Structure 1
């Protein structure tokens, strides 16, 4: 870690250490390709499939790094967080592997599949209203009551270092990438991607993909300062949270651009993944393909890594279902 303008910023050495620490607890996920999607986009796409990850999402990387990095004297009180789903279930998974308590604050509207997974891994859920302000207020009460170590879903150097292991693997698996595209909500994955690529492949372009209905990162990127939305409404439920100081540092310093897609474009891209690649991914994961299809001039003729961040889907409430 290094101090940068009052922030504890992880370094690439932290990513390497995180990879060694979490290796027994994660999958080295595969990279898939699709000739159909290559032809459709005019690019060579390489999909890093974190939907096949332990706990069904990339977030298990950062959560495991935080949990397995705790000192023995921190274990009794366990860990706690607030999350719309994937970080909650990932932290519950990691805490269960280490045998410590885990309490998570989740919006009452979070997908049932994610709530079930949290409880299945032994986590305790405290519900809140579906807004950032409610989430943070309820969490403050939980932390005061439990005294647990707060593992922030993304604005945590331990978490960002863990997420950086994903693009480290991708660069080992695929040679000669010109660009990497990943979804952005709070910015943990993009921050880890920026951290890794700026260190080992500084020539690779880094694009953040975001819903138009939750485009605070895009507006922040244009304005040069954080613009936060409290309760955006989008089918990409994992991308509703705002940037924080640490993730903003990585985005503004290293990202090439933030591109957005409409709700309709996101759902159509999700359908393409399901139909053509035969894989289950969340709506949040389809935003990168949606922005690639929307901005063909940016990616045509390039070798592009695409991070598919998770596959925890409520199969009874798919976004193209009526009613």
Structure 2
């Protein structure tokens, strides 16, 4: 497959704050590059704008880091996006992914509209990343660390562009979606479509997000946090979990578009990778209480991969969201893996 980067002027390097160091410690690019490739669900090749962050010590090896469908390129804070990144606890100075040793590359996920396509696949995201490596003149990434949807894209990248990456770390993601998880997401998408048709899109998107949250977390956490008694307010009883669900639903609507949600949710359920095509050394990380990506699926994936693979299991009450919440347990695993594949 030929992927072509559309020539653009080199963006000026900006500077960012890193951890406890002074500002301007690390140069970064937070920019847009136009790359050219052929999306799976479109007619022919086209130019696609890819929004990316590339941050870390100049000349250091590049590590790709990608998260779930609601994650963005801002894995770490920068002057252009000063809020904490979504994996700030694991990326930075003296953290598992140390910006003094590595340059982290991350993109905003592409949706179907970005591609001018009927749908977006994990293969499309992988091809966009490969084309971006070309545009940035990165011959090979030392590692691809992907969590949730990012793990699915990492598997697609390793299967399609295995010569461009040294090691794959896939957290809470498998070679295919579990049918029960697909059923749950199908209901969420139908809620959003109903909202679009009825004119209640914000309410529908919030409800879909609330339903999704019930699948992200483990049963034990719900039992511990929300087992209190109902209270009577505004003419009805309210249960303890409702305030948390509604708060998170509102927050999601503030930063996410309904059509983008439909596109990326569907992309999860279109995902399919032949494990034997992944010929890159792989570290799989699963969470014992994850109901979206059961450990049985990861065991099956480990046995079928076309390269040496290990499976690490983390005990957590947080279910699928363990990749966001269990940073203390993840840090030594990620650090050890990067030391092994990239040199101590």
TM-score (norm 2): 0.34
Which of the pair has more CA radius of gyration?
Answer: 2
With a CA cutoff of 8 Å and minimum separation of 6, indicate the structure with the bigger relative contact order.
1
Q: From the two aligned structures, give the one with the greater helix fraction.
A: 1
